[in-house]
Amino acid sequence: MSFDTLGLSADILRAVEEQGYRDPTPIQQQAIPVVLQGRDLMASAQTGTGKTAGFTLPVLQLLSQTAVPIKGRRPVRALILTPTRELAAQIGENVTAYSKHLPLRSLVVFGGVSINPQMMKLRGGIDILVATPGRLLDLEHQRAVDLSKVEILVLDEADRMLDMGFIHDIRRVLAKLPAKRQNLLFSATFSDEIKGLASKLLTNPASVEVARRNTASSQIEQSVHFVDKRRKRELLSQMIGEGNWKQVLVFTRTKHGANHLAELLNKDGIGAAAIHGNKSQGARTRALADFKDGGIRVLVATDIAARGLDIDQLPHVVNYELPNVPEDYVHRIGRTGRAESTGEAMSLVCIDEHKLLRDIERLLKIEIPRIALPGYEPDPSIKAEPIVNGRQGSRGAPRQSSGGQRSGAPRPGGNGPRSGSGGNGAGESRPARPPRQGAAHAGQRRTGAPAGRSRKPSGE
């Protein structure tokens, strides 16, 4: 199928061609006609599937079909909400590229940077606003943005927004929007919470699914290496060195862990940088640019910072520590094996993490192949200890319902607290559930594993 058959205008097709895209991806083939019809959409698609163009192209088309008021303030007509600043910036870049030949203006707003330039730009009139929820509410509060004329709302990575505790912010944004509008919801996973949000938000939505729910791409070769915690760094350095890996994304659970690992790898002579919410936007952008152009080989990231990172054909992803929330494993390894390329996702699993591994395997409904590395066999005398998430995580209480109050919780994703410090504090670490006593060795086949998952704990 070619882009020409999807009903997009010549100006948009020209921009798509200039991006070098030949054929629409499956999500684009399915989503674009539905959005052009003006229907609500519920789409299951991860980053890497081309979902951004899947919603941006038809939104641009719809907006460009109706006249833009020449006089007076241009109200925001399309609002794209995303959980993180990285994702917002990437979507913003796509919107700019695809709207190159259209008389539409777009702007990206997120926290952690000065609000004044954003207010100035909004004053000039913006058709398409890409925003993280916290900063959007700040702008709305200061009457710098009028959301009452929004025609199309896109909630991107809705699952992550809920995970990050943005549900209240989302509700407050929704209350500012006109009742009559088109709604597009994108999510990599469809938990009950997401379904609940979708049922309130969407009217008679078309449903589009490209990657099967909670399954990892078959183009990703996954493996598990059992190794003692204290030897993980040595093993990682060895893998990178022996495999001559040029680009590897490594996940840690905490910001502190990311910094520490990046330092150690640098000491080993392996160029590495950490990327997480405590880093300034400039530092993150620099680290990503260094990584993309080969200046550094390793990017060590927390789940939240890595979310939405657009890195083409990333060959290696390493879970230096398993995530506390099994869905994050799917997101993490989704950074590799994109498009036509294949990728490798390795997890270094210490005895403390066997329970997390079982949760992940239960979600994926597979057993991830184990690879034994001679010389790195776990010491059988080491017993499992509860996972403590460094400085950030362990104080979280179990999350209430999706409507639970995040009283005074710092905002993850760089939206910063309304006032006071600009950091995002605990935003990147989710505390583990307490480990079950006597957890069986994850290398053995599971027997009688209980079905279902317990609720995710909070901490963000």
Positions that interact with ligand AMP (CB under 6 A)? 21, 24-25, 28, 47-53, 310, 312
Q: How far is the CB of 14 from ligand AMP (least distance, A)?
A: 14
Task: Check if the beta carbon of residue 327 is closer than 8 Å to that of residue 189.
Answer: yes
Q: How far is the CB of 159 from ligand AMP (least distance, A)?
A: 15
Q: How far is the CB of 47 from ligand AMP (least distance, A)?
A: 4
Task: Check if the beta carbon of residue 46 is closer than 8 Å to that of residue 23.
Answer: no
Q: How far is the CB of 189 from ligand AMP (least distance, A)?
A: 15
CB of 48 or CB of 337, closer to ligand AMP = 48
CB of 1 or CB of 382, closer to ligand AMP = 1
- Pick the closest to residue 360 from 442, 248, 269, 264 (CA basis): 442
> 101: which 2 tokens?
């030949």
CB of 21 or CB of 376, closer to ligand AMP = 21
- Pick the closest to residue 356 from 454, 218, 277 (CA basis): 454
CB of 284 or CB of 411, closer to ligand AMP = 284
Q: How far is the CB of 308 from ligand AMP (least distance, A)?
A: 7
> What does the DSSP assignment read for 246-259?
S-EEEE-SSHHHHH
CB of 21 or CB of 245, closer to ligand AMP = 21
Q: How far is the CB of 229 from ligand AMP (least distance, A)?
A: 33
The CB density around residue 272, as the number of other CB atoms within 10 Å, is: 26
Q: How far is the CB of 124 from ligand AMP (least distance, A)?
A: 27
Please count the residues of the chain. 460
| Secondary structure of residue 55 in the 3-state scheme | helix
- Pick the closest to residue 344 from 247, 253, 264, 443 (CA basis): 247
| Residue that the structure tokens 């995002």 belong to | 424
- Pick the closest to residue 321 from 353, 285, 354 (CA basis): 353
CB of 34 or CB of 357, closer to ligand AMP = 34
CB of 76 or CB of 309, closer to ligand AMP = 309
Q: How far is the CB of 302 from ligand AMP (least distance, A)?
A: 19
Query: Amino acid identity, residue 251?
Result: F
Measured between alpha carbons, how far is 16 from 100 in angstroms, rounded to an integer?
10
CB of 28 or CB of 278, closer to ligand AMP = 28
Q: How far is the CB of 58 from ligand AMP (least distance, A)?
A: 13
- Pick the closest to residue 403 from 72, 119, 165, 68 (CA basis): 165
CB of 24 or CB of 111, closer to ligand AMP = 24
Task: Check if the beta carbon of residue 318 is closer than 8 Å to that of residue 251.
Answer: yes
- Cβ-based neighbours of 226, under 8 Å, separated by 6 or more: 349, 350, 351, 370, 372, 377, 378, 442, 443
Task: Check if the beta carbon of residue 197 is closer than 8 Å to that of residue 161.
Answer: no
